[in-house]
Amino acid sequence: MFFLVLNRPRTSAEIKKGPKMPQESLRKQAAPYLPKKGESYMSPKQLMHFRKILEGMKIELGQDIDRTVHTMQDEATIFADPNDRASQESDIALELRNRDRERKLIKKIDETIAMIETEDYGYCNSCGIEIGLKRLEARPTATLCIDCKTLDEIREKQIAK
């Protein structure tokens, strides 16, 4: 009896051997902010809480990028088999796309931290109302309230049709 073992391409998660999304792993570490009774929206404590989350995300993304670079350098191999070579190239392309997304997220995190420093954080860029603590816990880089974001998505769908 013969068994044929096929080499399957590694997934990007296998390549970088790290957490899938930095926001997910960070949220496990940072407990959601619970405002005290009578506490004003975006008080210094709240701003500090979100700054800590954002800085943690940025550090984790940087570590992910470094880990990927080292892994890609260590595993840079020239395969004789065209299928293996194609598989490796597609893995590298996927990793580079992921790193590009993470690079853009780091830029957005830096912009959000700048908003915290100017105390503009937590308010909708479109209508100016409070974004809300729960939404910011879920997406610390959010710049639109849920209503404006929903309208924005509806407009996108109408343009795409």
- Taking only the tens place, the pLDDT of each residue in 13-28 is 444 444 444 445 544 5
Residue 79's domain spans which residues?
Answer: 10-26+40-121
Q: Are residues 141 and 90 in the same domain?
A: no
Element holding 57 (H helix, E strand): helix 44-74
For residues 80 and 37, which has the higher predicted lDDT (pLDDT)? Answer: 37
Beta-bridged to residue 80, according to DSSP, are none
Q: Mean pLDDT of all residues in the chain?
A: 83
Q: Are residues 133 and 106 in the same domain?
A: no
Q: Are residues 81 and 17 in the same domain?
A: yes
Q: Are residues 18 and 93 in the same domain?
A: yes
- Under the phi-then-psi rule, with left for phi > 0, alpha for psi from -120 to 50, and beta for the rest, what region is 122? left
Q: Are residues 148 and 112 in the same domain?
A: no
Q: Are residues 48 and 112 in the same domain?
A: yes
| Range 85-89 average pLDDT | 84
